[in-house]
Amino acid sequence: MRRLSYSLGSLLSIEEVLECSRKLNEIKPEVEWIPETWGMENFSMLGLASKENTFSKIGSSIINIYSRSPSLIAMGASTVDTISNGRLILGLGTSSVPIVENFHGNSFDAPVQRMKEYVEIIRLALQGEKINYSGKIFTLKDFSLLTKPIRKEIPIYLAAINQKMVEMTWDIADGVIFYLRPKNEMKETISKMQRKKKIDTALQIITCIHEDEEKSRNRAKKTLSFYIAVGKIYREFLQSTGYSDEVKIINEEYKKNGLDGLQELIPEKMLDDLCIAGTPATAVKKLDAFRDVGIDLPIIQFNPIGNVNESFELLTKTFSGESNE
């Protein structure tokens, strides 16, 4: 079976996440990813989901490094890895200025250096020994985990957008998590970076499947337009990689009138370059187009229409059905 994973959206309820986890336990994808924005706390949900899905690896996508100390992330990672019997993938990211500064009250400073020190400290802590650490940002004295980790090495994947973070990811991480990258740019970046060193390349793909193609595409456009509107880092990256005019139009409309109706400004070509949206009959070929640019592990980001369980059933049947194995 070709590698595949699923990400359960931030707007699902706890029970919906658990119900979807039970479904994933039946179809057995490689990884079940659970996001964290400003809703449900991630480590709690990872622990719960790991009890409903006892097969897949359990991944955070992503833990924001500004909202927890590196020691606390090491504690959470070790705890969930123990609960899941050694199945955690620790996905880390810097999040964004609005979340870090407005929601958490921290300063969004030195993201690359901060990420470097987080990864170093977390890896040292997981060794189970007492550590003393002196970095440009963090200084730790005599820290060790009170409970012994069941694995001394937990895979760490980094969410990377800009080039400095991409380069550091290839230097220090086990995998990369891409998001909202044009296929041509992604193919070029992956080809270049994999010559340096081979790591696991994952891509989270906004995905919506429905028998009514117009409904599915409109739903995916809503999610895409939201990220472009509120995510400065995504806007700037897409502006620099071929979508300058489109992003400018979307951003200006958002500043005038908010999110309402913003999806109507997403061009069809842009949607197909960045997302998977359509009927089950066309979806697998659209997924193959992302694999072809060098993605090792696609992450299908669930965007439901109507009844969540029925929508998830259609999604998983589309990508994990017998004909796709």
Full pLDDT tens readout for the chain, 325 residues: 699 999 998 889 999 999 999 999 999 999 999 999 888 999 999 999 999 999 999 999 999 999 999 999 999 999 999 999 999 999 999 976 667 777 778 788 999 999 999 999 999 999 999 999 999 999 999 999 999 999 999 999 999 999 999 999 999 999 999 999 999 999 999 999 999 999 999 999 999 999 999 999 999 999 999 999 999 999 999 999 999 999 999 999 999 999 999 999 999 999 999 999 999 999 999 999 999 999 999 999 999 999 999 999 999 999 998 444 4
DSSP structural state of residue 293: T
Token pair 């964004």 is found at: 96
DSSP structural state of residue 101: I
Distances (CA, A) of 157 to 46, 112, 118, 217, 259: 16, 14, 12, 29, 31
Name the amino acid, one letter, at 200.
D
Give yes or no for a contact between 92 and 156, defined as CB atoms under 8 angstroms apart: yes
Helix, strand and coil in the chain, % to nearest 5: 50, 15, 30
Same fold, 31-163 and 180-325: yes
**R_g (Cα) of the chain, nearest Å:** 19
Per-residue pLDDT, 59: 98
Compute the C-alpha angle 69/41/83, nearest 5°.
85
The fold adopted by the segment(s) 31-163 is TIM Barrel (3.20.20)
Helix (H, G, I), strand (E, B) or coil at 95: coil
The domain segmentation of the chain, as residue ranges, is 31-163, 180-325
Within 13 Å, how many C-alpha atoms sit on residue 226's CB side?
Answer: 8
Q: What are the tokens at 23?
A: 């479904």
Nearest CA to 59 out of 224, 204, 169 is that of 204
The fold adopted by the segment(s) 180-325 is TIM Barrel (3.20.20)
* pTM score of the predicted model: 0.96
